[in-house]
């Protein structure tokens, strides 16, 4: 009884104290690639003493730990809490009421039309009944029969036509009603009945008018970079329109607010890593490996507007990978690449694609574009025995690794030197000092059968596999914020709002490109420098050339070094063919070796009405084993990069003219072995 009396005494204080509910307005929104920061303000009189104020109408997707308050003046905060009110009344939007009125008007019209049909049906029944009665009760002459039958025919036809016309109008109204109901259903999804509420207990020595500002981070929002590339001719500047597709489903509409677009990520873990001591011990020699990989920065961000992804999977040499697996991560939905490495996959759920192929490193990449072309990397960890030595504080590459003599260590004359492979490429005549120590990410030492199974006898002295940090350098992302001058209204329905960031006029070099060993189409490309200053992000680009839509491509600055080259589509008026020259040399065996003579003829025909500049690229294979020799190379007019085996021709072909090219080479290898051609 005493507890009840105490509660009744306290109840008036709880109900009639300095408790207020204050509305607030969204002032500014900074949209990140994933998430957004909402800035709100609220003006109110804060009375002297302790006051509890609840700010209503907030999103239900608020990260409570991100809430920040400013503009307190002399007041201080005693406590603060964020909660979700599940009993909040839904907000009735004017557009919702308008749609409901339209539906009501349509339903009234349909009801009137149905009444018209009922009346016509009754009239038809009366006519039919009267005709039967008349024919049974009186004799009718021929003229009268003709007159009556003509009347019945004309009237029944008129009734049928009227019913048909009325039903057609009802059908049209029903379709219109269905469309409006769908739109109404979409609008009714937000705002939600539940809403977020921020409750703050203030303490103020005096009564003051506060203009309080508070901000917080919300999920279910973001923006996707997208581009339009336009060119009117190959001698005109390339217009690059940089756009953002903004979406949000936070539970609150952003009505006429200032928008900022940031390339940052508010959800990044900013806790610094603590490096501890690493201890070495013996292992069983199998399966146990020390990983040297570190956490990588995320380069790509999920694009929720993508409904279908197309792309091509290739290896490091650009050859297609048929039969590779593409799966929406976390689901059983997937596909395989065709003979040319191409795939098409509808996206109904999930945010990442998993690309896998036997002998290659599996890649998980966010679905950032409807065009995703992937280059797979061979998986060196499939070797049975790999000793991984993480680079620490040692002075260089000096040292030994169980039977492998590494250059720089104490040695006798004519040491047996290992084979050096740097970033997947055999480094001939490599010596210590060719790489700075801060360039090295990791070193792997292969020995015995593991080494010779890959590189033959060249690896008999061991192989030192060095991975550099160069790949990390191009992943460096500088956070940029774009301030949008115009205010926008972005509704909470997950629909896309397109915002133009900027438009650039690029001094591009246009060139036709043909790589017939991979694709017999001829591509128009545009190359430009200084692309870094535009703060581009990976995104989908729509291409328009000479007033026509030419297709879609992907802009990916993370795969570009000096110049950015973009494909503007395929030009069917230029044809290129690549044919094998058969039996240009008849010799096929010499002693214990097999000899393969390879020759190819290329033909490029310009069917355009103007001359063209075209670059043609082909290749000659390189040997990774001393038992396999590539000799008798005839490149003729081509430029040849002997380190990469790449042939190139820079051609100018007049209108209606044809250019012919050819090259050849010879391969020798033991006839008892097989090689990968």
Return all residues near 83 (Cβ < 8 A) that are at least 6 apart: 196, 197, 199
Bridge partner residues of 515 (DSSP): 519
CA angle 594, 598, 603 (to 5 degrees): 170
pLDDT in tens, 194-230: 889 999 999 999 999 999 999 999 988 999 899 999 9
Q: What's the token pair of residue 455?
A: 């590189």
**pLDDT, mean of residues 239-258:** 92
* Portion of the chain with pLDDT greater than 70, in percent: 78
**Average pLDDT over the chain, rounded to an integer:** 80
Integer-rounded Cα radius of gyration of the chain: 38
Crossing angle of helices 94-137/142-187, nearest 10°?
160
d(C-alpha 370, C-alpha 506), whole Å: 25
Residue 452: its pLDDT value, please?
62
Domain limits of the chain?
94-187, 308-378, 382-473, 574-670
DSSP string for 147-199: HHHHHHHHHHHHHHHHHHHHHHHHHHHHHHHHHHHHHHHHHTTSS-SSEEEEE
pLDDT in tens, 293-311: 444 556 788 888 888 898 8
Residue 4 has pLDDT above 80, yes or no: no
Q: Coil, strand, or helix at residue 582?
A: coil
DSSP string for 517-555: TTEEEEEEEEEES-GGGG---SEEEEEEETTEEEEEEEE
Bridge partner residues of 599 (DSSP): 664
CATH fold of the domain at 308-378: Immunoglobulin-like (2.60.40)
Residue 404 has pLDDT above 70, yes or no: no
CB atoms within 10 A of CB 480: 11
**pLDDT, mean of residues 558-584:** 83
d(C-alpha 563, C-alpha 565), whole Å: 6
C-alpha dihedral sign at 258, 263, 267, 272: negative
Q: Coil, strand, or helix at residue 58?
A: strand
**Cα end-to-end distance, the chain, whole Å:** 95
pLDDT in tens, 348-366: 889 999 999 988 889 999 9
Fold agreement (308-378, 574-670): yes
49 vs 406, residue with greater confidence: 49
CB atoms within 10 A of CB 107: 12
Residue 79: its pLDDT value, please?
93
Half-sphere exposure of 321 (CA within 13 A, CB side): 24
| CA dist list (Å): 587 to 450, 591, 667, 668 | 35, 12, 11, 11
Bridge partner residues of 212 (DSSP): 42
Q: Please state whether beta strands 519-528 and 509-515 pair in parallel, antiparallel, or not at all (unpaired).
A: antiparallel
d(C-alpha 391, C-alpha 398), whole Å: 11
d(C-alpha 408, C-alpha 124), whole Å: 109
DSSP code at position 559:
G
| CA dist list (Å): 657 to 600, 603, 604, 605 | 20, 11, 9, 6
pLDDT in tens, 474-533: 444 457 889 999 999 999 887 889 999 999 998 888 899 999 998 889 999 888 888 888
pLDDT level of residue 256 (50, 70, 90 thresholds): very high
pLDDT in tens, 603-653: 999 999 999 999 999 999 988 888 899 989 999 999 999 888 999 999 999
CB atoms within 10 A of CB 311: 21
d(C-alpha 135, C-alpha 51), whole Å: 94
Query: Is the bond preceding residue 507 a cis peptide, omega within 30 degrees?
Result: no
Dihedral angle, C-alpha 136, 140, 146, 148, nearest 10 °? -50
Residue 592: its pLDDT value, please?
81
Q: What's the token pair of residue 40?
A: 């709100």
Residue 396: its pLDDT value, please?
42
Residue 278: its pLDDT value, please?
66
DSSP code at position 215:
E
Dihedral angle, C-alpha 463, 467, 470, 475, nearest 10 °? 150
Q: Coil, strand, or helix at residue 416?
A: coil
Residue 41 has pLDDT above 80, yes or no: yes
Residues in the chain: 677
Return all residues near 103 (Cβ < 8 A) that are at least 6 apart: 177, 180, 181, 184
Q: Coil, strand, or helix at residue 407?
A: coil
Residue 558 has pLDDT above 70, yes or no: yes
Residue 655 has pLDDT above 70, yes or no: yes
Bridge partner residues of 392 (DSSP): none
Residue 451 has pLDDT above 70, yes or no: no
d(C-alpha 353, C-alpha 336), whole Å: 12
pLDDT level of residue 436 (50, 70, 90 thresholds): low
| CA dist list (Å): 30 to 67, 262, 301, 485, 615 | 14, 7, 17, 13, 45
d(C-alpha 89, C-alpha 106), whole Å: 28
**pLDDT, mean of residues 133-158:** 72
d(C-alpha 293, C-alpha 214), whole Å: 40
CA angle 399, 392, 435 (to 5 degrees): 70
Phi and psi torsions of 634, nearest 5°: -120, 105
Half-sphere exposure of 214 (CA within 13 A, CB side): 27
CATH fold of the domain at 574-670: Immunoglobulin-like (2.60.40)
Q: Please state whether beta strands 208-218 and 62-70 pair in parallel, antiparallel, or not at all (unpaired).
A: antiparallel
d(C-alpha 422, C-alpha 398), whole Å: 16
Phi and psi torsions of 676, nearest 5°: -90, 95
Closest CA to 423 of 486, 394, 465, 391: 465
Residue 343 has pLDDT above 90, yes or no: yes
Residue 61 has pLDDT above 70, yes or no: yes
């Amino acid at each position: 009884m005493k507890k009840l009396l105490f509660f009744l005494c306290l109840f008036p204080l709880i109900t009639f104290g300095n408790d207020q509910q204050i509305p607030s307005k969204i002032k500014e929104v900074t949209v990140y690639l994933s998430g957004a920061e909402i800035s709100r303000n609220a003006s109110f009189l804060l009375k002297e003493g302790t006051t509890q104020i609840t700010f209503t109408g907030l999103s239900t997707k608020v990260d409570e730990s991100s809430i920040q308050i400013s503009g307190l003046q002399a007041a201080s905060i005693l406590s603060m809490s964020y909660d979700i009110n599940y009993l909040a009344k839904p907000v009735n939007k004017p557009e919702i009421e308008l749609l409901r009125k339209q539906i009501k008007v349509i339903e009234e019209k349909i009801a009137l039309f149905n009444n018209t049909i009922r009346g016509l049906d009754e009239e038809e029944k009366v006519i039919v009944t009267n005709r039967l009665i008349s024919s049974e009760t009186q004799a009718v002459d021929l003229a009268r029969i003709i007159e009556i039958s003509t009347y019945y025919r004309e009237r029944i036809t008129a009734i049928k036509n009227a019913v048909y016309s009325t039903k057609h109008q009802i059908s049209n109204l029903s379709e219109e009603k269905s469309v409006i109901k769908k739109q109404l259903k979409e609008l009714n999804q937000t705002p939600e009945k539940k809403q977020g509420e921020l409750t703050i207990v203030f303490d103020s020595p005096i009564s003051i008018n506060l203009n309080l500002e508070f901000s917080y981070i919300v999920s279910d929002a973001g923006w996707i970079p997208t581009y339009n590339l336009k060119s009117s001719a190959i001698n005109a500047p390339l217009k690059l329109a940089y756009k953002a597709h903004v979406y949000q489903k936070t539970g609150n509409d952003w009505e006429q607010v200032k928008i900022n677009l940031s390339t940052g990520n508010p959800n990044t873990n900013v806790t610094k890593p603590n490096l501890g001591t690493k201890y070495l011990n013996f292992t069983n020699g199998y399966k146990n490996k020390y990983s040297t990989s570190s956490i990588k920065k995320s380069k790509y961000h999920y694009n929720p507007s993508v409904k279908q992804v197309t792309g091509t999977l290739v290896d490091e040499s650009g050859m297609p990978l048929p039969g590779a697996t593409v799966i929406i991560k976390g689901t059983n939905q997937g596909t395989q690449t065709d003979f040319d490495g191409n795939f098409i996959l509808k996206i109904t759920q999930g945010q990442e694609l998993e690309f896998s192929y036997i002998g290659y490193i599996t890649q998980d990449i966010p679905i950032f574009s409807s065009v995703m072309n992937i280059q797979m990397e061979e998986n060196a960890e499939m070797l049975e025995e790999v000793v991984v030595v993480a680079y620490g504080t040692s002075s260089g590459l000096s040292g030994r690794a169980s039977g492998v003599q590494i250059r720089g260590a104490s040695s006798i004359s004519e040491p047996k030197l290992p084979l050096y492979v740097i970033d997947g490429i055999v480094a001939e005549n490599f010596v210590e000092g060719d790489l700075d120590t801060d360039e090295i990410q990791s070193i792997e030492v292969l020995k015995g059968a593991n080494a010779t199974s890959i590189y033959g006898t060249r690896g008999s002295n061991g192989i030192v596999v060095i991975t550099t940090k160069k790949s990390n350098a191009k992943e460096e992302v500088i956070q940029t914020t774009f301030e949008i001058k115009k205010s926008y209204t972005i509704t909470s329905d997950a629909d896309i709002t397109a915002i133009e960031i900027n438009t650039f006029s690029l001094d591009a070099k246009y060139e036709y490109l043909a790589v017939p060993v991979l694709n017999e189409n001829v591509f128009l490309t545009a190359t430009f420098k200084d692309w870094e200053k535009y703060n581009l992000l990976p995104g989908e680009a729509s291409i328009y050339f000479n007033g026509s839509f030419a297709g879609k491509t992907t802009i990916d600055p993370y795969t570009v070094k000096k110049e950015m080259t973009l494909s503007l589509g395929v030009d069917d008026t230029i044809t290129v063919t690549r044919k094998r020259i058969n039996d240009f040399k008849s010799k096929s065996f010499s002693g214990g070796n097999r000899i393969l003579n390879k020759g190819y003829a290329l033909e490029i025909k310009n069917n355009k009405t103007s001359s063209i500049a075209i670059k043609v690229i082909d290749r000659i294979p390189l040997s990774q084993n001393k038992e396999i020799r590539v000799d008798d190379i005839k490149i003729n007019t081509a430029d040849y990069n002997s380190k990469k085996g790449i042939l190139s021709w820079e051609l100018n072909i007049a209108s209606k003219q044809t250019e012919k090219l050819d090259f050849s080479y010879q391969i020798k290898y033991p006839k008892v072995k097989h090689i990968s051609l």
